[in-house]
Amino acid sequence: MSEPYAVLVDVSKCTGCRGCQVACKQWNDLSAGRSTQTGTYQNPKGLNPTTWNLVLFNEDFIEKDGEKQVRSFFRLHKCMHCTEPVCLDVCPSQAIYRDGETGAVVIDQEKCDGVGACVEACPWDIPQLDVMNRKSTKCNFCIERIRDNKKPACVNTCVGNALIFGKRSAIYAMAEERLEALKPKYPDASVYGTDKEAFFGGLTDVYVLPEKPHYYGLEMPSMAGA
């Protein structure tokens, strides 16, 4: 079996342009929904059955050079395609499968009967229940594009080079290289998702974070979704 793929989400390069959000809608033919301004750049408020990825925006105080500053933190939020996905383990209909060639974790819409066990189980609150159609929905890693030797649509559109697609070992190594490059300026920088013990065998989407994970709405999986 060939090595699966991965995506490096280099948050230090993300401009928050939301091109990835639009590209996902376009490629997957997901309808736009009416949303409400809630006092943040984030729109819509969260993932939903027709929004499979989202740029999360957070404003917070951070201590820099001995003083508190207000800063904006943003990152792409989507299914991380765990190597050992808990959503798959809990599905009573065996509707979720992990494709070994690509690394994609996919909900088979034919088999899904919308009981929502995956919604409850995912540590990052990724699957979204389409109540009307009784189906659970989420990012499918653009598995058909990958099989067609194309990058996922969100990665393909990222002009800031914040999303890099490649074979898993190369992406994991790249994440460590970026971490080393960021450390002198960002001493709290970290890589999120490559630790196989802590992250269900390792994530397909791994993040390089300039500041502590909580600024980006990320916790360790045991704490996420609590």
Question: Interface residues with ligand SF4 (CB under 6 A)?
Answer: 14-20, 23-24, 27-28, 52-53, 55, 76, 78-82, 85-87, 105, 122, 124, 126-127, 138-142, 152-154, 157-158, 160, 162-163
Cβ neighbour number for residue 42 with a 10 Å cutoff:
18
Quick one: 123 or 189, whose CB is closer to ligand SF4?
123
Residue 137 backbone dihedrals phi, psi, to 5 degrees: -130, 155
What is the rounded CA–CA span in Å between residue 149 and residue 168? Answer: 16
Side-chain half-sphere of 104: how many Cα atoms within 13 Å? Answer: 19
Rounded CA-CA distance 37/54 in Å is 15
Instruction: Report in angstroms how near the CB of residue 63 gets to ligand SF4 at its nearest.
Output: 25
Q: Judge whether 105 and 67 are in contact, CB under 8 Å.
A: no
Using the minimum distance from each CB to ligand SF4, give the nearer residue, 6 or 87: 87
> Of 140 and 194, which CB lies nearer to ligand SF4 in the complex structure?
140
The three state secondary structure string of 135-175 is EEECCCCCHHHHHCCCCCHHHHHCCCCCEEEEEHHHHHHHH
Instruction: Rank residues 117 and 154 by Cβ distance to ligand SF4 and give the closer one.
Output: 154
- Closer Cβ to ligand SF4, 14 or 112, answer by number: 14
Nearest distance, CB of residue 68 and ligand SF4, angstroms = 26
Distance CA 99, CA 144 (A): 11
